[in-house]
């Protein structure tokens, strides 16, 4: 039996010393014993599905579908999947698997653009910091659900003010006078006279439902703006710490441990979604909610609006998590001859179907909420934080056995967030492993724990009273057009400089020879369609870019300036590394540029057995140290 077959307490007569290294983790059937491979293909596929399927599938896609014509939105969404999402997804999976390298080291393929990989890792790091804060929010609401009555079901004087109300308060309305003409009257007088208001003439008081005040005043203790930092909200800090402990525990042995955790974290959310959908479908008003989402009220005239197509392309791009570096990192642990083509199609289709399915679960319960409140579904629908922590909790609080449904919903959000977080942190550790393989092999556990601790400390500013403003600020600047810029350069670099046909030959070394007609579609997308689409979205995003706001609260100028500094810090490495590579090359300026546009001698399959004649000239990177980016210790070693 293998080394991991039984726990140490059940292995009779065997003594085992505790070690911080992961050298013993290699399986007998591992192809790349030096770097490691996934224990099984299922581990990889579930990790990829978990990475792609995240919070946006639940709290953004259903709202976008409703807002952009309902069922009609699925047409541009499917087209953009084929034209923009799937081609780039397939490219990144193939790239990582071919070279068995992470998002920075893989740019041995094109040293001039190695800064693109650094940009991807840096943006992923910024996003990782605030994404775990959102997971912390889910943990807080999860624990708050362990009560006989949900704390946001009523206006608690501890945190509610006089604006809080469970039901809409009517101030005045129109009634029919004795002569048949409408008269505007005070609602209390109307009630005292046993009269009835005319339809759609009521004027309501400016009130807030309990869930909204609970979110702002109790959970976040939200301050007036970014200027007012306030104190650290201790229970959110503890939830953030717990979320990082969970991430660290799942990743302490890299893909060997996270690959097993995802069997639960990637699959169980589907069970919860099914339970929520079945429950929601049995409620009064559910049918109307689904009609608003994707039913007969679909508006096909929306397809004539450019904004709809832009929303579809943007949602596909960010939902599939392309150009973040995670796809390259996860695929780099595949065996060389794994069919990355079928994997890419499976994960992309699963991601999109999950988004559509989640919409039914969300809108069925929101339809019931609208029915109970006597409102239109459009008046209770929202997206993002307002959907996850205000509108949906409010709807759940009105159900029988509300704490159970609340627990299931926030447990689902927790699992969806953790899956994506596992892959993002693994992207960072994979980068470190490529740069310092021996260090990571011996010290993976303390390195992983140290990284989680550092990111926890950096995230503490996001659990202050101004924390939600920091979360929104980083999301606004770092999770937007910067990634689009990196994706465009990635496509142009690989297809137009390295050579798209050359890259296709690399892929065929892994998945076998394919016909001309098979590659015709991928060539069209990689060379022309996908770069043009992403470039159009990038230009649109920059032209329509607006300063960040949270609701009606505007950010101070220094906040916007800080946001620009963050994204510039991520992007500046593209020209810096390009200039550094040119300076380090030999010859005149043109010769140096040409050299930097060619793959390094260490580019190719990691194992000699896979290189064949095409890469017989390749220098083994283990024997020939390839300094990817300038480091202090590299300079000292050179001097010595």
Of 47-51, 66-70, 482-486, the poorest mean pLDDT is in 66-70
β-sheet bridge partners, residue 549: 554
Residue 278 to residues 272, 354, 396, 607: CA-CA distances in angstroms? 10, 16, 14, 50
pLDDT, residue 603, reads 95
pLDDT tops 80 at residue 343: yes
pLDDT band at 29 (very low <50, low <70, confident <90, very high): low
pLDDT, residue 526, reads 96
pLDDT, tens digit, 9 for 90 and up, residues 131-152: 999 999 999 999 999 999 999 9
pLDDT, residue 606, reads 92
Q: Which of 178, 172, 154, 174 is nearest to 164 (CA)?
A: 154
pLDDT, residue 622, reads 63
β-sheet bridge partners, residue 208: 164
pLDDT tops 70 at residue 363: yes
pLDDT tops 60 at residue 555: yes
Q: What are the backbone dihedrals phi and psi of residue 102, each rounded to the nearest 5 degrees, phi first?
A: -80, -175
More confident residue, 21 or 290: 290
pLDDT band at 2 (very low <50, low <70, confident <90, very high): very low
Q: How far is CA 283 from the centre of its chain?
A: 31
DSSP 232: B
Q: What is the mean pLDDT of residues 333-354?
A: 95
**Vertex 468, ends 467 and 473: CA angle to 5°?**
100
pLDDT, tens digit, 9 for 90 and up, residues 408-422: 999 999 999 999 999
pLDDT band at 113 (very low <50, low <70, confident <90, very high): very high
Using a pLDDT cut of 90, give the percent of the chain over it.
Answer: 61
pLDDT tops 90 at residue 370: no
pLDDT tops 80 at residue 19: no
The chain-wide mean pLDDT, for the chain, equals: 88
pLDDT, residue 9, reads 41
Of 11-25, 175-189, 258-272, the poorest mean pLDDT is in 11-25
How crowded is residue 638: how many other Cβ atoms within 10 Å of its Cβ?
8
Q: What is the mean pLDDT of residues 91-116?
A: 96
Q: What is the mean pLDDT of residues 545-562?
A: 92
pLDDT, tens digit, 9 for 90 and up, residues 187-212: 888 888 788 888 777 787 788 889 99
- Annotate 25-65 with DSSP letters as a single string: G--TT-S-TTT---SSHHHHHHHHHHHHS-HHHHHTHHHHH
Kindly list the strands in the beta sheet with 203-204, ordered across the sheet, starting from the edge strand earlier in the chain.
Answer: 182-186, 170-176, 203-204
């Amino acid at each position: 039996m293998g080394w991991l077959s039984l726990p140490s307490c059940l292995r009779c007569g065997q003594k085992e010393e505790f070690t911080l290294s992961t050298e013993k983790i290699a399986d007998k059937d591992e192809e790349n014993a030096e770097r490691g491979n996934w224990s099984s293909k299922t581990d990889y596929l579930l990790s990829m599905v978990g990475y792609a399927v995240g919070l946006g599938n639940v709290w953004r896609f259903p709202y976008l579908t409703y807002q952009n014509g309902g069922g009609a939105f699925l047409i541009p969404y499917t087209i953009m999947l084929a034209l923009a999402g799937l081609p780039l997804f397939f490219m990144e999976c193939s790239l990582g698997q071919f070279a068995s390298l992470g998002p920075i080291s893989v740019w041995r393929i094109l040293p001039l653009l190695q800064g693109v990989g650094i940009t991807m890792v840096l943006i992923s790091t910024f996003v990782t910091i605030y994404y775990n804060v959102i997971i912390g929010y889910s943990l807080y609401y999860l624990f708050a659900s362990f009560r006989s009555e949900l704390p946001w079901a009523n206006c608690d004087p501890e945190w509610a003010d006089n604006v809080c109300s469970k039901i809409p308060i009517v101030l005045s309305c129109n009634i029919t006078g004795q002569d048949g003409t409408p008269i505007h009257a005070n609602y209390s007088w109307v009630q005292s006279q046993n009269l009835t208001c005319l339809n759609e003439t009521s004027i309501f008081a400016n009130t807030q439902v309990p869930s909204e005040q609970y979110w702002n005043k109790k959970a976040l203790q939200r301050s007036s703006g970014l200027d007012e930092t306030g104190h650290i909200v201790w229970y959110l800090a503890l939830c953030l710490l717990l979320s990082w402990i969970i991430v660290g525990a799942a990743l302490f042995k890299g893909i060997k441990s996270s690959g097993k955790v995802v069997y639960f974290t990637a699959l169980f959310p589907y069970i919860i979604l099914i339970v929520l959908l079945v429950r929601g479908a049995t409620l009064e008003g559910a049918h109307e909610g689904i009609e608003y989402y994707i039913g007969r009220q679909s508006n096909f005239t929306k397809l004539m609006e450019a904004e709809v197509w832009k929303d579809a392309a943007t949602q596909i791009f960010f939902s599939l998590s392309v150009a973040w570096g995670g796809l390259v990192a996860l695929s780099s642990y595949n065996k060389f001859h794994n069919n990355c083509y079928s994997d890419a199609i499976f994960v992309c289709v699963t991601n999109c179907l999950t988004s559509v399915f989640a919409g039914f679960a969300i809108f069925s319960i929101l339809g019931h909420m609208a029915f109970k409140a006597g409102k239109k579904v459009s008046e209770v629908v929202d997206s993002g934080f307002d959907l996850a922590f205000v509108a949906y909790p409010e709807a759940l609080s009105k159900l029988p056995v509300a704490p159970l449904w609340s627990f299931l919903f926030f447990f689902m959000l927790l699992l969806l967030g953790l899956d994506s977080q596992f892959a993002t942190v693994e992207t960072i550790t994979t980068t470190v492993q490529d740069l310092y393989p021996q260090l990571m092999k011996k010290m993976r556990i303390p390195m992983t724990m140290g990284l989680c601790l550092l990111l926890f400390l950096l995230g503490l500013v996001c659990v202050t009273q101004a924390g939600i403003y920091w979360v929104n600020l980083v999301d606004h600047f770092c999770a937007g057009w910067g990634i689009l810029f990196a994706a465009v350069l990635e496509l142009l670099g690989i297809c137009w400089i390295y050579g798209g046909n050359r890259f296709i030959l690399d892929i065929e070394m892994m998945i076998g020879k394919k016909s001309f007609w098979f590659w015709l579609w991928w060539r069209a997308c990689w060379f022309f369609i996908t770069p043009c689409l992403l470039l159009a979205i990038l230009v649109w995003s920059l032209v329509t870019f607006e300063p960040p706001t949270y609701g009606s609260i505007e950010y101070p100028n220094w906040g916007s300036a800080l946001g620009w500094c963050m994204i510039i810090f991520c992007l500046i490495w593209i020209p810096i590394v390009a200039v550094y590579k040119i300076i380090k090359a030999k010859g005149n300026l043109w010769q140096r540029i040409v050299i930097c546009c060619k793959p390094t001698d260490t580019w190719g399959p990691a194992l000699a057995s896979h290189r064949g004649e095409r890469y017989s000239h390749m220098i083994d990177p283990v024997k020939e140290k390839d300094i990817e980016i300038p480091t202090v210790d590299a300079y000292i070693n050179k001097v010595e």
